[in-house]
Amino acid sequence: MEAARSRLDIATENLANVSTDGFSRHDARGFLTALGVRVTAVASPTHGALRRTGRPDDLAIVGDGSFRVRDARGRVEHTRAGAFSRDRDGHLRDGADRLLLDAHGRPIVVRGDRSIQARQVGLPAGSTLESGALETSSVDQISEMIDVLTAQRSYEGAEKIVAAIDGTRQKSADDVARLK
Amino acid sequence: MNRALYASASGMAAQQMNLDTISDNLANADVAGFKGATMAFTEIAAPGETGLGTQPLGARTIFAQGKLEKSGGAFDVAIDGPGFFVLDDGHGRRAYSRDGGFARAADGSLRNAQGWQLTGVRIPPDALSVDVDERGSVVAATPRGRQTVGHLSLAEFAAPDGLQHAGGTIFRATPACGAMRLVVPGATDGPSVKFGMLERSNVSIVEAMVQILSAQRAYEANAKGVQAADEMMRIADNLTRG
């Protein structure tokens, strides 16, 4: 039952982010342990499709890699969400007001119509940058819906088993009492 | 299950906001100079394997150029390129807009549909016709001959994303958008003004319809998530009853 619950948590979390650009879905991975089945979330390696936005400062990564962004407290994080906008100093900031960093960890400054190159933000070789586009969420709504249903059914199934075990235990307890 | 419940609920709230933004775009698809917006979301990060759903980052205006269209208005102007018309809202505050549908008021000023005045131009009362050239010079033909009656300057900002959307086609400056710069249109790599034309909104109706459909389906999917979590809690409750 615990496994089915985790599976539902993962599927609903994915579903909630079906419109979150740059979101990478989590796969539910089940494995057997001494205490039964355990399900954990693993970041899925699939990338979302590209969507044209008409905003020149939006960046999408084609291939692997991620953007490095720094928040106001100096914490550096990795993200594939490329919805940036230019601030008045020419820095690129994302929706959470984090600065886009270049390959050397310095904030990127854009001037005029100059576009940003893949190596400038430290993307691995083979990856390219598409400006004016965003990577959509990699969540596939249909398979997540199936996961929600599966989780619900296996929860019901597990409940039946618990009830059956409970029933046999109750019966044996009753029988023992009758023997006395 | 609580986690699933709240993640799904956040997804429903997000799709609701998404729908609000798309319907606003659609409602203004025929408004000259209107700029569409798009909602941005981000995952609610949490320690552990997965997050806790999604949260809105806010609406982002798309300043992409709309198509220019010939119009019938006598004082219609369109901007080809970046920049905004500078308006005075009557309370001494500046407002910025790309809606170039102006009308001549009794005092000779050019005013938009809200009655806000376009700065820098005053048409003399005896003007027979008005013309605006690519460089923004407003020339009126009067019985006394042609005379220049004003110049259209366009406002540009270092960070237009910092502008505050004040409803319809109106934007207000904020500290985030940087200082306003007045530019003379018609420069080789700058904006130009087209007289007798209007800029259509940059909203694509077909795209907006598709976005509405997918937002609606995403809303339903998240609602199913709430239902599943609720159902599983019911089952857990029943366990103890036997």
Residue B85, pLDDT score = 94
Rounded to whole angstroms, what are the CA distances from A47 to A26, A76, A80, B179?
Answer: 12, 22, 9, 39
Provide the mean pLDDT of chain B.
Answer: 90
Whether residue B218 and residue A15 make contact (CB cut-off 8 A), yes or no, is: yes
Q: Per-residue pLDDT averaged across B153-179, rounded?
A: 90
Q: Does A11 touch chain B (CB under 8 A)?
A: yes
pLDDT interval class at A180 (50, 70, 90): low
Of chain A residues 67-86, which have a CB less than 8 A from chain B? 81, 83, 85-86
Yes or no, beta carbons of A87 and B18 under 8 Å apart: no
DSSP characters over B75-99: EEEEEESS-EEEEE-SSS-EEEE--
Q: What is the pLDDT of residues B52-69, one digit of tens each?
A: 899 999 899 999 999 999
**In the numeric block, which tokens belong to residue A132?**
């004016």
What pLDDT was estimated at residue B66?
Answer: 93
ipTM: 0.83
For B223-240, what is the mean pLDDT?
90
Using the 8-state DSSP alphabet, how is residue A107 labeled? B
Q: Please tell me if residue A2 touches chain B, with a CB cutoff of 8 Å.
A: no
User: What pLDDT, in 10s, does the model give residues B192-204?
Assistant: 999 999 999 999 9
Percent of chain B with pLDDT over 70: 99
Return the top range by mean pLDDT from A46-55, B25-34, B131-140: B25-34
pLDDT at B49 over 80: no
Its pTM stands at 0.85
What is the percent of chain B with per-residue pLDDT over 90, rounded to a whole number? 59
Q: How big is the CA angle at A91 (ends A85 and A92), to the nearest 5 degrees? A: 35
List all residues of chain A from 35 to 64 with a beta carbon under 8 Å from chain B. Answer: 40-42, 53-55, 57
Q: What is the mean pLDDT of residues B146-174?
A: 90
